[in-house]
Every structure is written in C-alpha cells, then in structure tokens.
Amino acid sequence: MNKYDIVLKIEKFAPLETQEKWDCSGWGVNKGWSQIHPTTPHVEKGVESENVTRVLFALTVTDKTIKQAREKGCDMIISHHPLFYVPLDWKDINIYSAHTNLDKADGGTTDRLIKELGFTISEKREFVRIVNLDKPIDIEELRQKLLKISPKLRYINNYNHKSISSIGFCAGSGSEFINKTNTDAFITGDLKFHAALECEQIVFDIGHFESEQFAPLILKEITDIGENGVIADEKSPFI
C-alpha cells in the first residue's frame, strides 16, 4: 500500500489546513521522506519508502502503542492525538496524526460520539455540535445512556435541573465551551474543578479517552484498507 495514498484519503475527509494553529497534525515521522520535493508529501514513484504493509490505528501514540505496532507487523501508525516531540526509538515507523481537523470534520470525532449514543445532530459549529431532542428526557435517562460508553462518568448539576431538551457536545477537552452553547446540558471530557463550580448547565464529564474512543475506527473506515488495518488496544489511564 502507498502511504501517501492512505494519507490523501484522510486529508480529503479532514483537510489538514483546517487544524488549529497550535496543532501538530500531519506527519510526525515520515520514514524515508525524500528531500527531492520538500513542498509536497509525495516522493518519486517506485521508491520503496512509499509503501507500507500494515497500519495500526490509535487514539494516542505511546510506548505501548509502538510495541503493539511492532508485534502486529505494522510499519505505520495513524493516530488522533499528534506528536509534539518524537523519541529517537520511535523513528523507525511511519506516524501520521489527524487531530483538530478530524474534530471539525463532518463525521469526525464529536459527530461519531453522538451517532454512537443514538442522537441526531441539529446544529454544527466549529468544534461543538448541538442536539435538540424531540421531547425532554430526565437526567437519569441521559446518564444511563452515557454509562454505556463511559462507566465512570461524573456530572455537575449546580442548579438542580430535572430534565433536558437540548445537549451540546464536544469530544475531548471542551471545557472552554461550557455555558456557551445555550443548551440544557453539555457533554465533554476533562472537566476541571473551577469550571465545575461555575457551571450553569448540567455538564457530563465522560472522560477524554471515552469521548474520543471511536477516533481510531473513524480513521480506519476513512482509509478503507480492510484487514491491513488494525485497531490498537487502548484504555483510559484512569482506574
């Protein structure tokens, strides 16, 4: 398989230019990259370093992820979370990431979370999605639905609200959008203490990992490489 053809499929779905300025999406390690064409991702056809045999799809690249890739015969890793630095012993494998560009894309990280929960998106903003329910549900009903994908979720209800008619979603770390979605509830990960104290909405913290756990599957589906693609075995670091 040509690794650049694989990457082009991802970038068609989630264009690299849509990533945030601080982000590091794209190639973390491009093994054997040619300096012949420094302004494009492609090297001359026929160069051996273009081809990969198996790809590991992961949420985060860690030492454990690298070990899995080697054990499974994968010479490329495609992750959601990008690399901000590259350890020397990781440079023998191709690593590519799609982060905030995948978050923003139609069918991306937050969209998939909503789909898995059985809701329908009513409105799309840059990172946030809004769901307007056909009829109100009580908090416990929503909590039970969320428990299926996040058994250790926690939530804030500072004003003792009883029911929910609208929900805002942001997979990953979305605390900055709390109280800004004009919805009854907000679902994200990584809720901090002081943000929790000031919540006017009902806010469910389902965990960073849990909220983005479907990202590797999205990336595998985009590339459509079938049995040549392997989903990494990952779990939240919180016990």
Tokens of 138: 């009580």
| CB atoms inside a 10 Å sphere around CB 185 | 25
Per-residue pLDDT of the chain (239 residues; tens, 9 = 90+): 999 999 999 999 999 999 999 999 999 999 876 544 444 454 444 445 799 999 999 999 999 999 999 999 999 999 999 999 999 999 999 999 999 999 999 999 999 999 999 999 999 999 999 999 999 999 999 999 999 999 999 999 999 999 999 999 999 999 999 999 999 999 999 999 998 998 999 999 999 999 999 999 999 999 999 999 999 999 999 98
Q: What is the pLDDT of residue 150?
A: 97
CATH numbers and ranges of domains, the chain: 3-103+213-231 (3.40.1390.30), 109-212 (3.40.1390.30)
What's the rounded Cα separation, in Å, for the pair 188 and 110? Answer: 9
Q: What is the pLDDT of residue 43?
A: 44
What's the rounded Cα separation, in Å, for the pair 3 and 119? Answer: 35
Q: What is the pLDDT of residue 119?
A: 98
The DSSP-derived string for the chain is -BHHHHHHHHHHHS-GGGS-TT---EEEE-TT--SSSTTSS---TT-GGGB-S-EEEESS--HHHHHHHHHTT-SEEEESSPPSS--GGGTTSEEEE--HHHHHSTTSHHHHHHHHTT----EE-SS-EEEEEEEEEEHHHHHHHHHTT-TT-EEE-TT---EEEEEEEEEEE-GGGTT-S-SSEEEEE---HHHHHT--SEEEE--HHHHHTTHHHHHHHHHT-GGGEEE-----S--
Q: In what order do the strands lie in the sheet with 26-29?
A: 26-29, 94-97, 76-79, 55-58, 229-231
Q: What is the pLDDT of residue 48?
A: 54
- Angle (CA) 196 198 201, round 5°: 80
